[in-house]
Amino acid sequence: MTTLRVRPTRRRTDSATTPSAARRVATPDAGPDAGPATGSDELLAEWAPVLDAIGEGALQRELDGELPTEAVALLKAEGFGALRVPTAFGGRGLGLVDLTRLWIELAAVDANLPQAFRGHFALVEDRLWHHARSSDQRVWFDRFAAGEMAGNAWSEVGSSIDLPRTVLRPRADGSYRLDGTKYYTTGTIFAEWTDVHARLAVPGHPDEVEDPTAIALVDTRDPGVRTVDDWNGFGQKGTGSGTTTFDNVGVPAEHVLPFEDRFPYQTAFYQLNLLATLTGIARAALRDVVDAVQKRTRNFSHANAPRVRDDAQVLALVGEIAAAVYAAEAATLRVAGSIQAVADASLASADEIAALVEASEIESSTAQVVVSELVLRATSDLFDALGASATARPLALDRHWRNARTVASHNPRILKARVVGAHAVNGTPPPYAWSIGGTRRRQDWDDTRPRSGDAG
């Protein structure tokens, strides 16, 4: 097992770091005459030693099929999960643009980790939204600041889109009993809590299809919760996206939340995390191909120059990959800004919130279409700059494409392209809080614009 070592743990509000760490995370075009570091630059420099420690064992974890358990523990200890928590409650109070920059940097050293924390940051965002709307969430902020993490438990195999088999049943004392099985429970294997989407059984209700759904915030330390690492995808194998079962798990009433009260920009937010992960994967691919080209001594007889690093065609290809990284990052950060606009409007009118949500959904869908294409192409084309030796398993350069292909498959970009086109041509609103499952009945996605009552 890999042991991660970093300087003695300090609260991440301390800004001191070494100049070398600052250089390692500087943007590629930062030269000796660059101006003073921005807030984002200082943030990334501050986290550089942690990222370096995580990155040192990432390739070996990939080769060994080992979960990044110690890397997650290090991130928890360093306050990663509390980056969005207000400073008054022990967090860093980061905006979404800065958080996204850090997600990208983390994905560049281990693509599994931002996705492993995806459900956690969604729950943090939900609690921030409700806190801003006068519902005190300090108990959750205290948990996040103490290093506690939340996973995700929404998807099921075999259930219909609108009828989860995982069920919350009310108990006589006002609490609930949770039973069921969830798949792709990303991050839950590392977490103290998991965010569960379940059907809320209504006693005496004749038609369970019409039962409401709810969010249950479940303590994974309950003996009735069991998570196994059985995710068998060919990429993102260290995200902890296994199966979680709930057997007679008690859930306090205050931990059961109406689904319709969920923060309204969650779909765009979930996609933002995947965009950041894709961008970080592309950055890692660029790093590796640059390193390989610089070191490569073997060449082809019909190459354009004696040294690979001087070959115009190889340099052009590397330049195209660098441009893809640039464009992917720019698009991703633009989405982060549009989502931040919604987060900042928690006390606005319902119509204003709905308009901002729609704008962020279209931004995230548009970016998904183009970023997925850019990153998939870049992570495949890098092999054209190298020889067959680059396919050697110990190098694991294929992991970049496998990871990108897996992330891009979560929300098919062909469907998002249709959503963007329908909005551009006909003003059709995008789907909100969509889900996946069996299609027992038609889903009217084009009639899901948030109504004023939904946002308020």
pLDDT tens per residue across span 233-264 = 999 999 999 999 999 999 999 999 999 999 99
- pLDDT surpassing 60 at residue 204: yes
Spatial separation of the C-alpha atoms in residues 154 and 148, rounded to whole Å:
20
Among 445, 268, 446, residue whose Cα is nearest residue 366: 268
What is the average pLDDT across 188-194?
A: 98
pLDDT of residue 178: 97
Least confident of 107-121, 246-260, 427-441: 427-441
Spatial separation of the C-alpha atoms in residues 147 and 90, rounded to whole Å:
11
pLDDT of residue 28: 35
- pLDDT surpassing 80 at residue 224: yes
Kindly indicate the confidence band of residue 25, based on its pLDDT and cuts at 50, 70 and 90.
Answer: very low
Spatial separation of the C-alpha atoms in residues 20 and 240, rounded to whole Å:
33
- pLDDT surpassing 90 at residue 4: no
Kindly indicate the confidence band of residue 9, based on its pLDDT and cuts at 50, 70 and 90.
Answer: very low
Kindly indicate the confidence band of residue 202, based on its pLDDT and cuts at 50, 70 and 90.
Answer: confident
Give 43's Cβ-side CA count (13 Å radius). 21
pLDDT of residue 394: 95
Among 311, 425, 305, 431, residue whose Cα is nearest residue 362: 431
What is the average pLDDT across 318-345?
A: 98
Pair 48, 109: CB distance under 8 Å: no
Task: Identify residue 320 by its one-letter amino acid code.
Answer: E
Spatial separation of the C-alpha atoms in residues 126 and 265, rounded to whole Å:
9
pLDDT of residue 212: 87
DSSP secondary structure, 54-114, as one string = HHHTHHHHHHHT---HHHHHHHHHTTGGGTTS-GGGTS----HHHHHHHHHHHHHH-THHH
Pair 199, 163: CB distance under 8 Å: yes
What is the average pLDDT across 210-217?
A: 89
Residue 219's contacts (CB-CB under 8 Å, 6 or more residues apart) are 192, 193, 225
List Cα–Cα distances, 332 to 180, 316, 377, in angstroms: 36, 24, 17
Pair 253, 175: CB distance under 8 Å: yes
- pLDDT surpassing 80 at residue 39: no
Pair 304, 312: CB distance under 8 Å: yes
Q: Report which of residues 139 and 209 the model is more confident about.
A: 139
Give me the chain's average pLDDT, please: 87
Pair 84, 121: CB distance under 8 Å: yes
> How much is the pTM?
0.87
Kindly indicate the confidence band of residue 435, based on its pLDDT and cuts at 50, 70 and 90.
Answer: low
Among 22, 152, 3, 145, residue whose Cα is nearest residue 74: 3
Residue 433 φ/ψ region, left for φ over 0, alpha for ψ in the -120 to 50 degree band, beta for the rest: left
pLDDT of residue 309: 85
Residue with tokens 């937010």, as numbered in its chain? 269
Least confident of 123-127, 131-135, 288-292: 131-135
User: CA Rg, the chain, in Å?
Assistant: 23
Burial class (CB in 10 A: 0-12, 13-18, 19+), 90: middle
Provide the β-strand partners of residue 438.
160
Question: Which pLDDT tens digit goes with each residue over 343-401?
Answer: 999 999 999 999 999 999 999 999 999 999 999 999 999 999 998 999 999 999 999 99
Pair 375, 108: CB distance under 8 Å: no
Q: What are the tokens at 156?
A: 């099921």
What b-and-e string marks burial along 311-344, b requiring 16 or more CB atoms within 10 Å of the CB?
Answer: beebbebbebbbebbbbbbebbbebbebbbbbbe
Q: What are the tokens at 368?
A: 């998904």
Could you give the percent of the chain with pLDDT greater than 90? 74
Spatial separation of the C-alpha atoms in residues 165 and 208, rounded to whole Å:
10
What is the average pLDDT across 414-432?
A: 92
Question: Which pLDDT tens digit goes with each residue over 60-70?
Answer: 999 999 999 99
Residue 188 is classified by DSSP as: G
Spatial separation of the C-alpha atoms in residues 312 and 306, rounded to whole Å:
11
Q: Residues in the chain, how many?
A: 456
